[in-house]
């Protein structure tokens, strides 16, 4: 949903990935309902992870997933590549779906990959964190 909103608001290019084939199918159907063509510069939806050749090329990465999974993604537990790798220096990562009591666990993982908290939003027990990737030194 976030990728479709980003594309509708004019972000280019938008690249959505998920490991779940049902999520990919739903995203493609949503894109069609929203009159967004796939495979062009507006929106790309693919099953899997972001390819390694995209390292350092994204200005914004958004993720909405539970803290434990997010920590695994940041640490490269699932595919040996950190979720932080595709983020350009100075880029932002928006992390949502985090329970308040697990925020420090996520921020510790983010810090291990050069990401610093710049904003926090909370609704009830749920948080969204915005972190920025430090510039290369």
Question: What mean pLDDT is predicted for residues 115-127?
Answer: 97
Q: What is the mean pLDDT of residues 32-39?
A: 81
Q: Is the pTM here over 0.75, yes or no? A: yes
pLDDT at 136: 64
Q: What is the pLDDT of residues 37-70, one digit of tens each?
A: 776 667 888 888 776 667 778 899 999 999 999 9
Torsion of CA 19, 26, 14, 105, to 10 degrees: -50
At 60, list the tokens: 């914004």
**Domain boundary assignment for the chain:** 1-48, 53-137
CA-CA distance, 86 to 61, in Å (whole number)? 8
Cis ω before 88 (30° cut-off from 0): no
Question: What percentage of the chain exceeds 70 in pLDDT?
Answer: 93
Q: How many CB atoms are located within 10 Å of the residue 14 CB?
A: 23
Q: What is the pLDDT of residue 81?
A: 85
In CATH terms, the superfamily for domain 53-137 is: Vaccinia Virus protein VP39 (3.40.50.150)
Give the pLDDT confidence score for residue 129 in this predicted structure: 98
pLDDT at 52: 65
The residue to which tokens 């004019």 are assigned: 10
């Amino acid at each position: 949903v976030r990728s479709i909103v980003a594309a509708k608001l004019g972000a280019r290019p938008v690249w959505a990935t998920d490991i779940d084939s049902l999520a990919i199918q739903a995203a493609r159907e949503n894109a069609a309902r929203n009159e967004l063509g796939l495979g062009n510069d507006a929106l790309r939806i693919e099953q899997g992870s972001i390819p390694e050749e995209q390292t350092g090329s994204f200005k914004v990465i958004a993720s909405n997933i539970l803290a434990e999974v997010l920590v695994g993604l940041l640490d490269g537990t699932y595919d040996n590549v950190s979720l932080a790798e595709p983020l350009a220096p100075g880029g932002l990562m928006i992390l949502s779906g985090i329970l308040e009591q697990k925020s420090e666990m996520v921020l510790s993982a983010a810090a291990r990959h050069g990401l610093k908290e710049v904003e926090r939003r909370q609704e009830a027990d749920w948080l969204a964190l915005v972190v920025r990737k430090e510039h290369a030194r």
